[in-house]
Amino acid sequence: MSRMPITKEGSERLRAELLNLKQVKRPEIIASIAEARAHGDLKENAEYHAAREQQSFTEGRIKELESGLSLSQVIDVAGIKHTGKIVFGAKVTVADEETGEEQGYQVVGDLESNIESNLISLSSPLARALIGKQEGDIIEFQTPGGKRELEILEVSY
C-alpha cells in the first residue's frame, strides 16, 4: 500500500486536532452524556441523543485522523529542490483568464485539503493541472461548471 503525502505543517495541525479531540472533546462529551442520563428517561431525552450523536461524530473523526496519519508520509517542502515548477507543497497564485480574479492555493495531500483555507488536494483536477507547470503557463481544467483557464502568476515554496 502506498503512503499518502502530507506536508509537515498539515501533519502538525492534524496531530494537534487529534490530541484536542482525545484529551478535551472526548471527556467533555462523556460528561455531557452522564449529565443527560441523570435527567431520567432516555427515550425522550434530547440532550442525551445530541450528546451521543456528537460522540459518534467525534469518535469517527478520531478514527479518520489516526488512520490517515498512520498511512501518511510527511514531506518537508523546504527540503525539496525547487526548479520553478509546481510540485507537492507549492503555493501558487493564479488568475482567471475570463475574469482576471486572482486566487492563491497550496497543493497538499488528501487528508489535509481544505478548500476554505485554499489547501487543494493533490488529486483534485486543479492540482493535477498545475503539477509540473511554472510561472507564466496557462492551464485548462474541467470543473462541474465547465472548462476554466487560469494563468499561473507566482509559484513559491
Provide the residue-wise pLDDT of the chain in tens; the chain has 157 residues. Answer: 578 899 999 999 999 999 999 999 999 999 999 988 887 777 778 888 899 999 999 999 999 999 999 999 998 877 777 788 899 999 999 998 888 899 999 999 999 999 999 999 999 999 999 999 999 899 998 888 889 899 999 998 8
Q: Name the DSSP class of 31.
A: H
CA gap 21, 28 in Å, rounded? 10
Q: Three cell numbers at 142?
A: 474541467
CA gap 97, 127 in Å, rounded? 17
Q: Name the DSSP class of 117.
A: G
State which H helix or E strand residue 146 sits in: strand 146-156
The SS3 call for residue 126 is helix
pLDDT of amino acid 104: 95
Domain(s) of CATH 1.10.287.180: residues in the chain: 4-75
Across the chain, which distance is largest between two alpha carbons, in Å? 67
pLDDT of amino acid 109: 92
Domain(s) of CATH 3.10.50.30: residues in the chain: 77-156
Which CATH code for domain 77-156? 3.10.50.30
> For the chain, what's the residue count?
157
pLDDT of amino acid 80: 74
Strand order in the sheet with 102-108: 119-121, 102-108, 91-96, 146-156, 138-143
pLDDT of amino acid 68: 92
Which CATH code for domain 4-75? 1.10.287.180
pTM: 0.78
pLDDT of amino acid 132: 92
Q: Three cell numbers at 137?
A: 503557463
